[in-house]
């Protein structure tokens, strides 16, 4: 069993919940997934390959529970679907999301440029930041190429 699963199991146990076979299967889907931002439907697609008896309703209930227990982070990328990612030290490094408004692809970048802003906020406003999320909306390189080839305008770049 890998260390990530062991850590997550401990956190469930510490919060006085049982790690049922179904819950473990769902957690394992997150650990094994190549994509880091899974919707309930994505999880269902992965889980039904190994445990076809687990229904979509169980997936939704489990995702809600895991979010409540801080095992998962719920993310909203503005496309009408919640996405989830593991909230584990191995995966919980500060990272930000680039969201393509044309194809809805989500990618991550890890430069934590907000640390300076957090320091300023702490000093000026006496506010201690424990977490932050940055979402940048635009066009991925693939969509930009398609748009250029089709003669579509890419649109202005907005700078604050």
Judge whether residue 34 has pLDDT over 80.
no
pLDDT at 88: 63
Give the residue from 55, 67, 60, 84 showing the smallest Cα distance to 15: 67
Q: Are residues 88 and 148 in the same domain?
A: no
| Domain count across the chain | 2
The model's pTM: 0.63
Q: Are residues 69 and 103 in the same domain?
A: no
At 91-136, the pLDDT tens digits run: 445 667 787 888 878 777 766 667 778 888 889 999 987 766 677 8
Q: Are residues 62 and 39 in the same domain?
A: yes
Q: Are residues 58 and 6 in the same domain?
A: yes
Q: Are residues 39 and 6 in the same domain?
A: yes
∠ CA 46-48-50, nearest 5°, is: 85
Q: Are residues 88 and 101 in the same domain?
A: no
φ and ψ at 94, to 5 degrees? -65, 125
Average pLDDT over residues 129-150: 83
């Amino acid at each position: 069993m890998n260390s990530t699963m062991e850590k997550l199991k401990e956190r469930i146990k510490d919060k006085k919940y049982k790690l049922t076979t179904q819950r473990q299967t769902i957690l394992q889907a997150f650990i094994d997934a190549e994509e880091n931002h899974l919707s309930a439907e994505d999880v269902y697609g992965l889980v039904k390959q190994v445990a076809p008896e687990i229904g979509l309703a169980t997936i939704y209930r489990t995702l809600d529970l895991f979010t409540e227990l801080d095992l998962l982070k719920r993310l909203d990328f503005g496309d009408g679907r919640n996405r989830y990612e593991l909230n584990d030290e191995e995966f919980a490094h500060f990272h930000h999301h680039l969201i393509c408004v044309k194809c809805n692809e989500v990618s991550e970048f890890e430069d934590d440029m907000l640390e300076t802003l957090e320091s300023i906020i702490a000093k000026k406003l006496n506010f201690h930041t424990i977490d932050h999320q940055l979402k940048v909306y635009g066009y991925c390189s693939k969509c930009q190429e398609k748009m250029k080839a089709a003669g579509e305008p890419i649109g202005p770049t907005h700078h604050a």
